[in-house]
A and B are shown apart, each in its own frame.
Chain A
Amino acid sequence: MKILIVDDSLIIRKVLKNILKEKKVSESDMFDAPDGQAALEILNSHDIGLLLVDWNMPKLNGLELVKIVRKIEKYQSLPIIMITSEAAKYNVLEAVKAGVSDYIIKPVSGVTVLQKLKQYL
């Protein structure tokens, strides 16, 4: 399964990749992008099976990305996990309304992410 990580923080992208490696996901199945716009290019050129996405990013933020992705026919049932610092309840509701499948509040712990990933890998 191809997995796309979208976060403007290089450190967070590295942390998430290391967590995926623990789940035996190969490097060649991991893609990453620093913003929603770059993510859309990857989504259009590959068949992504899981999307891990931050909210606050330049160019195109995660919430807007999720709304666009849900309009793409092949991605209507794509599992999307939002991993963000946005911790308010109204943010979680807004993200769910936009179409995210799951929501993790940063700072991320490997244990939390691995537990969530079990359902999708």
Chain B
Amino acid sequence: MQVKYIQPFINATIKVFKEFVGVDIVPGSPFIFNYNENKYNYDISGIIGIAGHTMGIVVVSFPKIVALDFASKATGEKITIFDDTVIDLVGEIVNIIAGNAKQGLEQYKLVISLPSIVKGVNHQITGVSGVPLIGIPFKSEKGSIYLFVSLKDLITA
């Protein structure tokens, strides 16, 4: 997977959290995600499939405390339980990130799926078969969130 695929997703992630949730998040160093290392902390993920002249997935994963904090900020209401509002927010965030990232990847004619949500402590996340899953941590006040991207290289017609 080429590095040039990643930057539009990072840019979109920063923009979405600033403008939709109202928080500044700071990207850290990218890493190749290895689920067996099990050193990451997250409880809910929004997942979107990508097709077009490439194919893959984009995932945004949150620890519970961060998801609740962001849902409270986005709605202006105190949200303390993992309810439909949190699920809605996580789905909308990954949807906007994937849609906005298309701007930097116009030549690949990407098509995005509807978001899916997975909940559970450190649930398994896997990328496209044979393609590394690149993780990018983002620091926020309440903890780190993770952006995961796994995209095949250009599929020629």
Residues of A within 8 A of B (CB): 8-12, 14, 56-58, 84-91, 105-107, 109
Contact = CB atoms under 8 A, between A and B. Distances in A.
Given A85-B99, A88-B110, A9 B88 contact: yes
Contacts of A91: 102
Interface residues of B, number: 26
B60 to A, nearest CB: 13
B106 interface: yes
B24 interface: no
Contact of A58 (B92, B98, B101, B114): B114
Contact of B85 (A11, A56, A89): A11
Contacts of A9: 88, 91-92, 95
Given A87-B100, A90-B109, A11 B16 contact: no
A84 B109 contact: no
A12 B89 CA distance: 9
B75 A14 contact: yes
Given A14-B75, A90-B109, A85 B96 contact: yes
Contacts of A14: 75
Nearest to B109: A90
A53 B89 CA distance: 18
A66 B84 CA distance: 28
A11 B95 contact: no
Nearest to A12: B92
12 contacts: A11-B92, A14-B75, A56-B99, A56-B114, A58-B114, A85-B98, A86-B99, A86-B112, A87-B101, A88-B106, A107-B19, A109-B19
A58 B115 CA distance: 10
A105 B100 contact: yes
A40 B84 CA distance: 25
B16 to A, nearest CB: 6
B7 interface: no
A56 B115 CA distance: 9
B1 interface: no
B123 interface: no
B74 A11 contact: yes
B103 interface: yes
Contacts of B88: 9-11
B119 interface: no
Given A106-B20, A107-B15, A107-B20, A87 B99 contact: yes
Contacts of A87: 99-103
